[in-house]
Amino acid sequence: MYNMMENDTQGFRILIVEDEAILGMDLSLNLQREGYEVLEVIDNGEQALSLYKKQEIDLVLLDIQLKGKLDGIETAEQMTQIKPVPIIYITAQLDEETLDRAKETFPAAYLPKPFNPEGLKIAVDLAIHNFAKKREETQAKIATALKEKEANSMRETILQIDNHIFIKQSYQFTKVRLSDILFLESDNNYVNIITHQKKFTLRLTLNGVLERINYTKLLRTHRSFAINMEQIESFNDHEVLIGKYTIPLGRNYKDEFLRYFDFL
């Protein structure tokens, strides 16, 4: 006998769309015995869609032959446009044309008529498992694509030629003289590069920017700041003044900051 993978069925909501009342009731009773919550048994696609829009539904058992204007395949197409859930087609003998139409909706499983309780358990379990696996794979692909896009973007963000860098902003590279940089400021996942004339914002970490810029006069003074030592106007034990800006001087960075100077 098939040993169904253990599922937490409590609270799992199922909609049954079946135009044979006795069969629909039988399906409902079997699913409830397995611990599933059956919202309703409906005999037509129009009413099923109306309920589908209003309720949280986790799985649909859907007969291909239904009462009303919509058959099961047309109903499934409209359901998946609203939100994707696993759909199990309840089928009798299908002709080739109808089967081809059904395949286009990518059902999670098929349940042949007449069904038996064991076959129902297998179909529901496989539908849940396959749908969850497919969703995880899709999410993983999206995450990988986003990481690759971000990595490519990060590699192209800053270019350096001698004493200048080119910063990519809105698909255009802007030339900045390194000596014109006043300081770098970290802002969560972004870094602001402040010059006398302009502020540039990059989706990078502060460490990432410092690694990309070959300029020894840029020195970290705080976990969120790095300054151009050539732009310092004054400083004390706690802060550095650069033009109109006051930059914190952190205790953990003070020794390295002072080593930059020659003591006479």
In tens, the pLDDT along 171-206 reads: 778 899 999 999 999 988 889 999 988 999 888 889
Query: How far is 88 from 123, CA to CA, in rounded Å?
Result: 7
Q: What angle do CA 218, 230, 254 make, to 5 degrees?
A: 60
pLDDT of residue 122: 87
Tokens 């358990």 correspond to 121
Low-confidence winner among 108-122, 145-159, 162-176, 198-212 (lowest mean pLDDT):
145-159
Identify the structural domains of the chain with CATH numbers, from first to last: 13-145 (3.40.50.2300), 162-259 (2.40.50.1020)
Provide the pLDDT confidence category of residue 156 given band limits of 50, 70 and 90.
very low
131 or 238: whose pLDDT is higher?
A: 238
Distance spanning both ends of the chain, measured CA to CA: 89
pLDDT of residue 97: 86
In tens, the pLDDT along 120-131 reads: 988 888 888 877
Per-position DSSP letters for 121-138, written without gaps between them: HHHHHHHHHHHHHHHHHH
In tens, the pLDDT along 24-75 reads: 999 999 999 888 899 999 999 999 999 999 988 989 999 998 888 999 999 9
Q: Is the pTM of this model over 0.75?
A: no
Provide the pLDDT confidence category of residue 245 given band limits of 50, 70 and 90.
very high
Which ranges in the chain belong to alpha helices (H)?
21-33, 45-54, 72-82, 96-103, 117-157, 206-212, 254-259
Q: Which two tokens stand for residue 46?
A: 């129009």
- When pLDDT is averaged across residues 217-239 and rounded to a whole number, the result is 94
Helix (H, G, I), strand (E, B) or coil at 8: coil
